[in-house]
Chains A and B, each alone.
Chain A
Amino acid sequence: MADDNFEPRIIAFCCNWCSYAGADLAGVSRLQYPPNILVIRVMCSGMVHPNLVIDALTKGADGVLICGCHPGDCHYLEGNLKAESRKDAIELMLEDFGLEPERFRLEWISASEGPRFAEVMREMTETIRGLGPSPYRQ
């Protein structure tokens, strides 16, 4: 399964107020992680439609992350909790599309958690590397 030349393509939807800032802090701190993640900035993790996640995975992304604020810290009070409540639905859809549940991950990363951002990105890349390319990837 694991192909040495396989370079995972992962999309991370990051909340502008926390995880996106956490990603910036990882940079400011020069914390290195694999170049397999493309960050798309959103205003809130609660803004990401489940369809967008499924679209990404069925169009060839090997993994998708939604990163938001820790519970209680949401800039919009509870948008992150809305994102969390959609997690189960997304996982069910993954099953329907024949995708492993590990290809989607919801994470809370604050603006001060640069090390955690880098760690989550490393972990996700390794997980996806282990799973191999998405069956939808051409």
Chain B
Amino acid sequence: MTVKLTINDNIAEVEEGTTVLEATEALGIKIPTLCYHKALSPYGGCRLCLVELDDGRQKRIQTSCVYPVQEGLKVETDTERVVKARKIVLELLLARCPESDEIKRIAKDLGVTETRIKKSTVHDEKCILCGLCVRMCEERMGKSVIGFANRGINREVIPPFDAESEICMGCGACAFICPTGAINPKDFCTRGITMLPSEFDLGVGPRPVVSIAFPQAVPNTPTIDKENCVYFQLGKCKMCEAVCEAGAFDFEQQEEIKELEVGAVVLAPGYEIFNPDLKKELGYARYPNVVSSLQFERILSASGPYLGQICRPSDGEHPKKVAFIQCVGSRNEENDYCSSVCCMYATKQAIIAKEHEPDLECTIFYIDLRAYGKEFEAYYNRAESLGIRYIRCRPSSIKEVPNKHNLRINYQASDNELVNEEFDLVVLSTGLRPPEEVNRIAETFGIQLDEQGFAATREFSPIETSRDGVYVCGPFSEPKDIPETVMEASASAAGAMTLLSEVRGTLITHKEYPPEKDVSGQEPRIGVFVCHCGKNIGGVADVPSVAEYARTLPNVVYAADSLYTCSTDTQEMIKEMIGEHNLNRVIVASCSPRTHEPLFRNTCREAGLNEYLFEMANIRDQNTWVHMSEPEKATKMAKDLVRIAVAKSRLLDPLYRGRLKVNNQALVIGGGMAGMTASLFLADQGFHVHLVEKEKELGGNFLHIRSLLNGTDPRQRLTETIDRVNSHPLIDVHLESTVTEAKGSVGNFETTITHNGDKTEVAHGAVIVATGATEYEPTEYLYGNNPRVITQHALEEWIADDNPELRNIKSVVMIQCVGSREEERPYCSRVCCSQAVKNAIVMKDRLPETDAYVLYRDIRTYGFLERHYREAREKGVRFIRYEVDQKPQVSPSQNGFRVSVLDHILNTNLNIQCDLIVLAPAIVPRGDADEVGKLYKVPLNQDRFFLEAHMKLRPVDFATDGVFMCGIAHAPKSVEESIAQASAAASRAATLLSKVELELDATISEIIDANCDGCAYCIDPCPFAALTLIEYMYNGEVKKTVERNEALCKGCGVCMATCPKMGIFVRGFKPEQLGVMVEAALEEA
């Protein structure tokens, strides 16, 4: 049965039993109320929802939330009488709760700022007796913990007898629903109210039962925590379902088990952080201001628990002194490895913390500062110059200062003094552990683990597990940083792609679209679809009036509002309207184009409209969500945003993505281990490779490596690799050759290879730069003047060849960082520490009576290399630290050399007599790196290694498409790391080479030849070297103009903003398009 009634002259037809308030709201007319909630039974408590009713017999004021509709009823929601009555109610509420900000705000909205009624003297009274909490507890939670007691002015909401309640489950629903913040279940619940700790914030902040895991989660959909959900536990509540306008809650969802048939598996389950609670002496979980590094990461985050403010958990105060303790759960007996990343993340956190608060004092307690990665050393130097204090000491315990929650740390200062210092906050740099489920994973996939529980991998192939076809990447096989993880990710993909190359692309299904309508020359016919997004937009802005306004704008032929524009039925409706009204422009006014533009573009395309004839107005994220308490202004702004979108859409053009044929051959420059590995991975996938090597033979620096840390001779592997490369039918090896000229860009390069003056031109789609690096030739420590001062590489050869020189060595001194980590070369060469450790162990094994000393600055045996460092110490190798400004002094003596060095532990000068000195020279970039760089327009960094597109996320790509890098031309690294990076480069190149055609961006720049006078201002600023100046003959004269390479242009528009003549623009962002947007923004609605 339906009932017809009139509300403010609108006819409404609603179900019998509907209340007047519900009927009114359904029409989009708002009535103020404090005690009504659609999920609870109406109560008529606050009396704000008064309306004037006329049933034909009399006119009277009634509370609309409890009054059922009647046939023929006339409702007026804003007559003078109604407004007056509401104002009196508000005066009463103001008198009862004079301190409540919420009541004051509502009163002010309705024009009431003072009350004529005597104000309550009850201190801080906030309860308005609306009874929402009572109904919530009874109806939704089924508990009835609280209820009304007493009468008249003594009436209040309390548990029975005002006693503490054992029934209260501490769910907090009463506090959630209370409009004035008057109730706190802590006051009566015997269970103690605890917040659910947010997993993402690692317990520093709370999270709701229904939550999105973290802001960037994919999919960005809320889930219910069943364990803590009242419905799942007790069968009550379901408030979420009641408030969700979209009806999106599904309580019946079950875990599903799906079976997939695959040819290869990549395991990337990541790591877990070491639980610092296992180190009781550090006070984690006992002292509130001792946090783990990942918790501190969340504290620093703008989206973290303190919104980017640095606060300490105990009291929310800003700390003045923060200490970082390194190696918590690393480099000890149980965790016999270095976690590889903690030194740098602590340094980063200290720098960011100081950016937040420049006066903050940060102190990092460490053992060895392991800044071994690319540009890490420079970062560490920067941290020191910012005043971050590094103290070489591992504090044994942390004590809390009673009452203040400050923390005391005992440590040994550099002058060996014992110091006891107080800090406000302590961050534990917790190490990386294998994931908890590691045994289950290993069992499921039948792979072996190493003794620490990480995935065991094969020698020379850090991405292959013990089982064929099962690959691994990231810290699951060994703790590692982001760049190495990303490299391994691509490398493991290369492994899988090689295995499956024959079936590549066979499971792809292509979507079919209808032919596109030609709209050229047509007058714009714009359709505007305004979204309510449930209450998200519609609850703030007056959406129907926005749609109505849109209809008044030029060229708008259709406008409508819908509850959810992104829903499937609305999508269908949009497609229908495009056909019915012959729309040639579509605007959706809803959420952000960043999330929904692809969806709506696809809808347009499905209706035969070019997808670029679509425009969006962001009236939710950037309007109703940020102007929630100003509905009128939000409505105005929604209109402004629609007007701006309409203005732009009138000037939209259909755009098309360019297509480019791809040459699927590759060029690899450099025939070392990296270049050969990359070549093999590509050739094994069926791509033809041209491998160019400058020297007479393949092998590069690997030719000089004679033993590995585990004692194996790597030459067998090298020979196998060289043989495979030489005999591979798809690899052309060009020895004693260099690349001398290069043209073209991604997908279509032409390179000239020169061999003994003979030139060969090859066409290829991708380039891999693997030109390697060389060794620094030392000038220090008598190198070159005395044959018994040698490099680690030379020592390795002596050992491998069993050189008789070695037999009489009584004492050997190894000196680290020769040419590295100095002003001229401010980077760490990464591999020298482990090389020294390796050779020192062999020396001790062969000649146990020989004394071996390693003079070092920091021992950087990261990851599993740490075990060998320990082994070396156990075998009696002596490690003595020196400072860069107090380098060891080497002088010839009777039987060899005298090395003098300051021992920091004994604080005395040591004089070591030795008969062999072994230096660890820096790895230096090749002198000709620049030339290769220029050929392919790719840059070097300040240390003259090749510069990748992104230090962390794109470690093998150049910013220039189609050009990749691997090996030590990128930065110093171990053989295994070079192999991983080479596989990664092959993988990245294969994603390009496997395409027949490359689909390019449509929104790239375009030159207006008539406007361009060839001034060339735009050419240098282009970050992608996509523009060139050209000349051609026009009417008998030389005309200069600019040419854009469509494969290289990314559409950033730097050219457009540089051009003084409007001679170049970016499609979709033309100056006139942006211009009309500005003009529309400045118009009044």
Mark A residues whose CB is within 8 Å of B.
9, 11, 16, 20-21, 23-35, 38-44, 46-52, 55-56, 59-61, 75-79, 82-83, 86, 110, 112-116, 118
Shortest B213–chain A CB gap in Å is: 14
**In the complex, what distance in Å separates the CA atom of A9 from the CA atom of B1079?**
12
> B1082 and A82: CB pair below 8 A?
no
Contact of B1071 among A49, A56, A118 (CB under 8 A): A49
In the bound complex, residues from chain B placing their C-beta under 8 Å from that of A29 are 303
> A32 and B628: CB pair below 8 A?
yes
Q: B492-513: which have CB < 8 Å to A? A: none
Nearest-CB residue, chain B, relative to A30:
B625
**In the complex, what distance in Å separates the CA atom of A60 from the CA atom of B1084?**
11
> Would you list 19 pairs from A and B whose C-beta atoms are within 8 A, ordered by A residue?
A11-B1081, A24-B594, A26-B625, A27-B623, A32-B626, A34-B627, A35-B627, A38-B644, A40-B1077, A42-B1069, A51-B1071, A55-B1078, A56-B1081, A78-B1023, A79-B1023, A79-B1052, A82-B1058, A115-B308, A116-B302
**In the complex, what distance in Å separates the CA atom of A89 from the CA atom of B1082?**
24
In the bound complex, residues from chain B placing their C-beta under 8 Å from that of A46 are 1021, 1052-1054, 1057
**In the complex, what distance in Å separates the CA atom of A113 from the CA atom of B301?**
9
> A27 and B1054: CB pair below 8 A?
no
Interface size class of B (residues with CB under 8 A): 35 or more
Contact of A47 among B215, B303, B1066 (CB under 8 A): B1066
Number of A-B contacts (CB under 8 A): 150
Contact of A52 among B303, B626, B959, B1075 (CB under 8 A): B1075
**In the complex, what distance in Å separates the CA atom of A43 from the CA atom of B1053?**
8
Q: Is B201 on the interface with A (CB-CB < 8 A)?
A: no
> A27 and B1081: CB pair below 8 A?
no
In the bound complex, residues from chain B placing their C-beta under 8 Å from that of A113 are 302, 308
Contact of B1054 among A47, A112, A114 (CB under 8 A): A47
**In the complex, what distance in Å separates the CA atom of A51 from the CA atom of B1065?**
14
Decide: A24 near B1074, CB < 8 A? Known: A40-B1081, A42-B1053: no
In the bound complex, residues from chain B placing their C-beta under 8 Å from that of A48 are 1057, 1074
The stretch of B49-57, B190-198, B395-403, B614-622 in contact with A is B614-622
> B1052 and A43: CB pair below 8 A?
yes
In the bound complex, residues from chain B placing their C-beta under 8 Å from that of A11 are 1078, 1081-1082
In the bound complex, residues from chain B placing their C-beta under 8 Å from that of A51 are 1071
**In the complex, what distance in Å separates the CA atom of A122 from the CA atom of B325?**
39
Q: Is B637 on the interface with A (CB-CB < 8 A)?
A: yes
Q: B592-630: which have CB < 8 Å to A? A: 592-595, 618, 620-623, 625-630
Q: Is B1003 on the interface with A (CB-CB < 8 A)?
A: yes
Q: B609-664: which have CB < 8 Å to A? A: 618, 620-623, 625-630, 633-634, 636-637, 640-641, 644
Task: Select the residue from A9, A39, A44 with max chain B CB neighbours within 10 A.
Answer: A44
> A43 and B621: CB pair below 8 A?
no
In the bound complex, residues from chain A placing their C-beta under 8 Å from that of B1003 are 43
**In the complex, what distance in Å separates the CA atom of A55 from the CA atom of B1051?**
23
Nearest-CB residue, chain A, relative to B949:
A77
In the bound complex, residues from chain B placing their C-beta under 8 Å from that of A79 are 1023, 1052-1054
Nearest-CB residue, chain B, relative to A115:
B307
> A52 and B1071: CB pair below 8 A?
yes
In the bound complex, residues from chain A placing their C-beta under 8 Å from that of B622 are 23-24, 26-27, 39
Q: Is B1056 on the interface with A (CB-CB < 8 A)?
A: yes
Q: B1040-1085: which have CB < 8 Å to A? A: 1050-1054, 1056-1059, 1066, 1069, 1071, 1074-1075, 1077-1079, 1081-1082
Task: Select the residue from A47, A51, A115 with max chain B CB neighbours within 10 A.
Answer: A47
> A25 and B1050: CB pair below 8 A?
no
Contact of A24 among B592, B1054, B1081 (CB under 8 A): B592
In the bound complex, residues from chain A placing their C-beta under 8 Å from that of B1082 are 9, 11, 56, 59-61
> B302 and A41: CB pair below 8 A?
no
Q: Nearest 8 A-B pairs (CB), nearest first?
A: A47-B1053, A27-B621, A76-B1052, A27-B625, A35-B633, A77-B1023, A46-B1054, A24-B621
> A43 and B625: CB pair below 8 A?
no
Mark B residues whose CB is within 8 Å of A.
215, 301-303, 307-308, 592-595, 618, 620-623, 625-630, 633-634, 636-637, 640-641, 644, 959, 1003, 1021, 1023-1024, 1050-1054, 1056-1059, 1066, 1069, 1071, 1074-1075, 1077-1079, 1081-1082
> A41 and B625: CB pair below 8 A?
no
**In the complex, what distance in Å separates the CA atom of A40 from the CA atom of B1075?**
11
> B637 and A35: CB pair below 8 A?
yes
Contact of B1078 among A30, A33, A39, A52 (CB under 8 A): A52
Shortest A22–chain B CB gap in Å is: 9
> A40 and B633: CB pair below 8 A?
no
In the bound complex, residues from chain B placing their C-beta under 8 Å from that of A50 are 1057
In the bound complex, residues from chain A placing their C-beta under 8 Å from that of B630 are 35
Nearest-CB residue, chain A, relative to B307:
A115
In the bound complex, residues from chain A placing their C-beta under 8 Å from that of B626 are 26-27, 30-33, 35, 118
In the bound complex, residues from chain B placing their C-beta under 8 Å from that of A47 are 1052-1054, 1056-1057, 1066, 1069
> A28 and B1066: CB pair below 8 A?
no
Contact of A59 among B592, B618, B637, B1079 (CB under 8 A): B1079
> B302 and A59: CB pair below 8 A?
no
Decide: A86 near B303, CB < 8 A? Known: A27-B620, A35-B627: no
Contact of A82 among B959, B1050, B1057, B1069 (CB under 8 A): B1057
In the bound complex, residues from chain A placing their C-beta under 8 Å from that of B618 are 24, 39, 41
In the bound complex, residues from chain B placing their C-beta under 8 Å from that of A28 are 215, 621, 625
Nearest-CB residue, chain A, relative to B1080:
A38
In the bound complex, residues from chain B placing their C-beta under 8 Å from that of A16 are 594
Nearest-CB residue, chain A, relative to B959:
A77
> B644 and A43: CB pair below 8 A?
no
Shortest B1050–chain A CB gap in Å is: 6
**In the complex, what distance in Å separates the CA atom of A83 from the CA atom of B1053?**
11
> A61 and B1078: CB pair below 8 A?
yes
> B1056 and A49: CB pair below 8 A?
yes
**In the complex, what distance in Å separates the CA atom of A56 from the CA atom of B1077?**
10
Decide: A115 near B302, CB < 8 A? Known: A16-B594, A76-B1050: yes
> B1081 and A38: CB pair below 8 A?
yes
Shortest B921–chain A CB gap in Å is: 32
Shortest B104–chain A CB gap in Å is: 17
**In the complex, what distance in Å separates the CA atom of A60 from the CA atom of B622?**
22
**In the complex, what distance in Å separates the CA atom of A65 from the CA atom of B623?**
17
In the bound complex, residues from chain B placing their C-beta under 8 Å from that of A23 are 621-622
Shortest B1022–chain A CB gap in Å is: 9
> A38 and B1053: CB pair below 8 A?
no
In the bound complex, residues from chain A placing their C-beta under 8 Å from that of B1071 are 49, 51-52
Task: Select the residue from A21, A77, A86 with max chain B CB neighbours within 10 A.
Answer: A77
> B640 and A38: CB pair below 8 A?
yes
Decide: A41 near B593, CB < 8 A? Known: A27-B622, A78-B1023: yes
In the bound complex, residues from chain A placing their C-beta under 8 Å from that of B215 are 25, 28, 112
> A44 and B303: CB pair below 8 A?
no
Contact of A38 among B307, B625, B637 (CB under 8 A): B637
In the bound complex, residues from chain B placing their C-beta under 8 Å from that of A21 are 594
